Structure 1
Amino acid sequence: MDFRPVLMIIGALTATLGGTMFLPAFADALVGNPDWIVFVTTGLITTLLGAGTWAATFGKGQSLNVRQAFLMTAMVWVVLAFFGALPFYWAELGLSYTDSFFEALSGLTTTGSTVITGLDDMPPGILLWRGLLQWYGGLGIIVMAIAVLPMLQIGGMQMFRVEAFDASDKILPRAGQIAASMTTVYMLLTLINAISYWMAGMPLFDALVHAMTTVATGGLSTRDGSISSYDSIAIDYIAIVFMIAGALPFVLYVRFLQGDRKSLFSNSQVRVFLASLAVFALVAVVIQYSEGISRGEEAFRHALFSVVSVMTGTGYATADYGSWGHGAAALFFILTFIGGCAGSTSCGIKIFRFQVLFLDLKQHVREILYPSGVFVKRYNGAILTDSVSASVMSFVFLYIAAFMVLALLLSLTGLDSITALSGAATAISNVGPGLGDVIGPAGNFSTLPDISKWLLAAGMIVGRLEVFTVIVLFLPRFWQN
């Protein structure tokens, strides 16, 4: 395998990550925090190594075939997390490298699980760096989901292939063109969100950081109490709107801005996603009423916020839904796996795969009832091929299998059953908080053993890379010509 195209892309992305480290350095320097030196040092190291790698491999075989795309997609998250962990490790936080890597990977994969406490008194550099990691990772996830995964035919993502770039050796120019339009939309949503937070009463710095982590559906906050710290109804609803916006297909935003006003809400995936949010929110309201938790608008707002936060994988919290009883625990455990739309920053199995499974089941029942009938499956008006159905079913099976293996391994490290199961689910689905007293909405991951954190980090990568991308690398045939 020719590793030069892979190293060229990783080098460019690493240099970009290094360049962003100077922003938190400037923020710390403004308030006189000595950690600005840490960010400048790590920024120089990361930028020089990334730029050097890019320069050494630039122009030497820039076409990227499918095998190289698999390797690049898997390696880039690990490499960026390695360098992204350095500011956490060298800053005055006292974090071990395990905790630093966990925090950086959680940010880049937009998982939102954290090992850091005392955020309310944290210097601005660290808070801004956490926000930048999620914002940077969210943009990378969109480009990967739209430009790379459809080419690799991962989990049915080939349904969303752009026909103008159908050849596998055109992944690079395709990614470049898509990245430009996606970045514009992504920045526009972030700016609107930040202004909305600020006008609702959130401090300007907090508004900027929360806008980055909301649109990225990441959920890292500048406060230990997350969004609930602001005790603002307006901020809660603004967060709901932009969490949903981050979980919708970004390609549809581009089409909307190009004049196709019907594309966004005529899409079946979007309609099912929004309908699912409404139904699950109603269930959460009923649970609160039955358990005597809250009533009226407060019950509706906490229900909708919690459902949207978990289902989109953002992980913000305005209420400890883990204390709403066993029915709520079961509901939010299920929501952890569902996720948002394909081509968004959200996580989980994704809505379109449940739609495909339903269409397959529907056709199977029809064939039993009418053995001589001929039925054609359609998704959004297009014919749904058997290869897509097989790919989706394989993905869902492996996804559940990966969750079960991770939960078993976590339990072997000494975690209780609730922590192990919800930890595995939240890592694989890149959601953030789990269930229970330890890693629930009111807790964090700092007290877990190091081995548990490394297992959870592996789960974050497997979930973010849609399982197949990681498994393929362990097949001997992949490395053979």
Structure 2
Amino acid sequence: MRVHSTPLPSIEAQTKSVLDPRPVVATLGILLSILGISMLLPAVVDFISHSGGHGAFFASSAITLFVGVLMWMSGRSSATRKLDLRQAFLLTGSVWVVLALFAALPFMWGRSQLSFTNAVFESMSGLTATGSSVMSGLDSQPPGILLWRVLLQWFGGIGIIAIAIAIMPMLSIGGMQLFRTESSDKSEKFLPRTDAIAKGLLTVYVLLTLVCIASYSIAGLGGFDAVTLALSTVSSGGFSNSDYSIMVFNNPSVEYVAIVFMLIAALPFTLYVRAMNGDVRRLYTNPEVRVFFLIVLVFTFASFLQQTWQGVAQGETAFRGALFTVSSIISTTGFMAVDYTHWGAASDALFFVLLFIGGCTGSTSGGLKAMRVAITAKAIRQHLKRICFRSGVFPLHYGGSIVEDDVVASVLNFVFLYLFTIAVVAITLNVMGLDTVTAFTASIASVANVGPALGPVVGPSSNYVSLPDPAIWVLTLAMMLGRLEILTALVLLQPRFWTR
């Protein structure tokens, strides 16, 4: 009798199946060290202004630097020079949690004296560039804490771009493989090396920030306001130095500058890198950019007409209010130049739809992304044609190319999961006692990383401070899930991903 036995895996295969956490720990240590060093900047600002908040930043910096250096020393190894797929996803998921916990220290120990729950919410909102806040009385806060809030958003903004380009296309999440092809087509020899792409993106990000600072200064803002507002605008974050956001300046020039840079930040940053290398044509031929600006025009026109017919505003004031609000919501920045919740039910319905959409792939914006919206609309149209004409062949075109069915399926799966996540968060908040409008709009604003929602509780003229702690934690998780594009987080929960 012959016995068939399954050969045991080799030692090398067994070793490869075991996750080596050292590169992840070392990388987290480097990022924590950078975070700790950056805390010294608001500390110096507070020290110079004699506001008394520098002690909290110095203490937070010392602890963060100590832990960061310790993690780097314990994780570094000459044998681990490159992250594999599992390590990359583990790093992507853990970086938001670890950095948010340490970034919360100044909020707890400074003059704001936030609770642990609220401090983590504020830091997560900053790092994910969401813009939701639990802090009131911003006009009287020390300059250091105001600077720290926008610094978190600025760091998070460049991190979001890097993750979108380097990590998410690996699993073809929601059509991200289309963006990978568009942003790094090796056949055109567009910066094929990863370090060249990273340097190009960082250069563009810094240059846009400097130009935005100069533009705000020319528009009439002081130095500190210009810097902080620019950091918040380019990152699509939305934090400001006042409870009244940009409305406090009452300056149309400032609003137009914000509009321009909110829209710029919502476009794929790889297109700017291409433009710097001579390929300017991509800026206006990219299909996602065209879809994005079409949505902006349609919603701006609808909002302008709604204001005019109902007598809310007229002429240039109505146009500026419509364009600013549409740009703020679709770019997921969340600035407020006018309280649009007073424009009536039709306006609420209009902006409720806009909360879902978001900017372009590879930008600092959140939301579904214009690419997925376009492909979903085309897929619905394609399906209707197939129902009407059973024997017809109707390929789906996007950007002049045929989109394969597996890409369409990944987009539709992502859209379903995106809406399902919003529904689960909203129902959870509703069960916790929040009214329906607050629960659903806060859920959308958090998952889409918009920030302000609709209604009197969490609308643009309010913040999230009145919500109970359990709801704050749910929304904190929702913000992180939104930035991780949901599926990236779910990958970490799959046992087979870690064993094979």
Q: Same fold (TM over 0.5)?
A: yes
Matching residue within 158, 173, 176 for 1:157: 176
What do residues 236-285 of structure 1 show as CA deviations (whole Å, max 9, x unaligned)? 00000000000000000000111112111111110110111011011111
Q: Does 1:470 align with 2:481?
A: no
Amino acid paired to 1:115: V
Q: Does the 8 Å contact 2:422/2:443 carry over to 1?
A: yes
What is the alpha-carbon distance in structure 2 between the residues aligned to residue 462 and residue 437 of structure 1? 25
From the superposition, tell whether residues 73 and 315 of structure 1 become closer, same or farther in structure 2 (CA, over 3 Å).
same
What is the alpha-carbon distance in structure 2 between the residues aligned to residue 67 and residue 162 of structure 1? 22
1:142 Cα deviation from its structure 2 partner: 0.5
What do residues 299-320 of structure 1 show as CA deviations (whole Å, max 9, x unaligned)? 1101110111011100000111
Match of 1:71 in 2: 90
1:94 Cα deviation from its structure 2 partner: 2.2
1:373 Cα deviation from its structure 2 partner: 4.1
What is the alpha-carbon distance in structure 2 between the residues aligned to residue 315 and residue 143 of structure 1? 22
Q: Does 1:2 align with 2:9?
A: no
SS of equivalent residue, structure 2 residue 302: helix
Match of 1:254 in 2: 273
Q: Does 1:29 align with 2:47?
A: yes
SS of equivalent residue, structure 2 residue 259: helix
Structure 1 residue ranges without an equivalent (≥5): 168-172
1:121 Cα deviation from its structure 2 partner: 1.6
1:377 Cα deviation from its structure 2 partner: 2.8
1:163 Cα deviation from its structure 2 partner: 9.2
1:412 Cα deviation from its structure 2 partner: 1.3
Q: Does the 8 Å contact 2:183/2:271 carry over to 1?
A: no
What do residues 89-131 of structure 1 show as CA deviations (whole Å, max 9, x unaligned)? 1101121011110100000000000111111121110010001
1:148 Cα deviation from its structure 2 partner: 1.1
What is the alpha-carbon distance in structure 1 between the residues aligned to residue 415 and residue 33 of structure 2? 35
SS of equivalent residue, structure 1 residue 436: coil
What do residues 147-195 of structure 1 show as CA deviations (whole Å, max 9, x unaligned)? 111123211111122599899xxxxx96544322111000000000011
Counterparts of 1:106-185 in structure 2, within 5 Å, are 106-161=125-180, 176-185=195-204
Q: Does 1:47 align with 2:69?
A: no
Q: Does 1:97 align with 2:119?
A: no
Match of 2:13 in 1: none
Match of 1:206 in 2: 225
From the superposition, tell whether residues 25 and 127 of structure 1 become closer, same or farther in structure 2 (CA, over 3 Å).
same
1:369 Cα deviation from its structure 2 partner: 4.6
From the superposition, tell whether residues 420 and 344 of structure 1 become closer, same or farther in structure 2 (CA, over 3 Å).
same
From the superposition, tell whether residues 62 and 163 of structure 1 become closer, same or farther in structure 2 (CA, over 3 Å).
farther
1:441 Cα deviation from its structure 2 partner: 0.8
Q: Does 1:427 align with 2:446?
A: yes
SS of equivalent residue, structure 2 residue 174: coil
What is the alpha-carbon distance in structure 1 between the residues aligned to residue 427 and residue 499 of structure 2? 33
What do residues 295-343 of structure 1 show as CA deviations (whole Å, max 9, x unaligned)? 1111110111011101110000011111111111111111111000000
What is the alpha-carbon distance in structure 2 between the residues aligned to residue 165 and residue 254 of structure 1? 11
What do residues 390-418 of structure 1 show as CA deviations (whole Å, max 9, x unaligned)? 11111000000000000011111111111
SS of equivalent residue, structure 2 residue 242: coil
Matching residue within 238, 244, 247 for 1:219: 238
TM normalised by structure 1 equals: 0.95
What is the alpha-carbon distance in structure 2 between the residues aligned to residue 236 and residue 426 of structure 1? 22
Q: Does the 8 Å contact 1:5/1:61 carry over to 2?
A: yes
Match of 2:10 in 1: none
Match of 2:12 in 1: none
Quick check: 218-227 or 467-476, which moved more?
A: 467-476
Q: Does the 8 Å contact 2:438/2:453 carry over to 1?
A: yes
Counterparts of 1:15-414 in structure 2, within 5 Å, are 15-58=33-76, 59-161=78-180, 176-414=195-433
Match of 1:458 in 2: 477
Q: Does the 8 Å contact 1:284/1:328 carry over to 2?
A: yes
Amino acid paired to 1:4: R
Amino acid paired to 1:18: G
Match of 1:170 in 2: none
What is the alpha-carbon distance in structure 1 between the residues aligned to residue 471 and residue 479 of structure 2? 12
From the superposition, tell whether residues 46 and 178 of structure 1 become closer, same or farther in structure 2 (CA, over 3 Å).
farther
What is the alpha-carbon distance in structure 2 between the residues aligned to residue 180 and residue 44 of structure 1? 29
What is the alpha-carbon distance in structure 2 between the residues aligned to residue 304 and residue 164 of structure 1? 28
What is the alpha-carbon distance in structure 2 between the residues aligned to residue 49 and residue 227 of structure 1? 37
Quick check: 108-117 or 361-370, which moved more?
A: 361-370
What is the alpha-carbon distance in structure 2 between the residues aligned to residue 346 and residue 22 of structure 1? 28
Amino acid paired to 2:56: V
What is the alpha-carbon distance in structure 1 between the residues aligned to residue 251 and residue 67 of structure 2? 44
Quick check: 62-71 or 316-325, which moved more?
A: 62-71
What is the alpha-carbon distance in structure 1 between the residues aligned to residue 487 and residue 227 of structure 2? 35
1:372 Cα deviation from its structure 2 partner: 4.0
Amino acid paired to 1:448: L
From the superposition, tell whether residues 426 and 174 of structure 1 become closer, same or farther in structure 2 (CA, over 3 Å).
farther
Give the aligned CA root-mean-square deviation in angstroms. 1.8
What count of residue pairs does the alignment treat as equivalent?
476
SS of equivalent residue, structure 2 residue 152: helix
Amino acid paired to 2:404: T
What is the alpha-carbon distance in structure 1 between the residues aligned to residue 351 and residue 193 of structure 2? 37
1:429 Cα deviation from its structure 2 partner: 0.5
Structure 2 residue ranges without an equivalent (≥5): 1-18, 187-191
What do residues 59-103 of structure 1 show as CA deviations (whole Å, max 9, x unaligned)? 342322222222111111111100110010110112101111010
Q: Does the 8 Å contact 1:112/1:218 carry over to 2?
A: yes
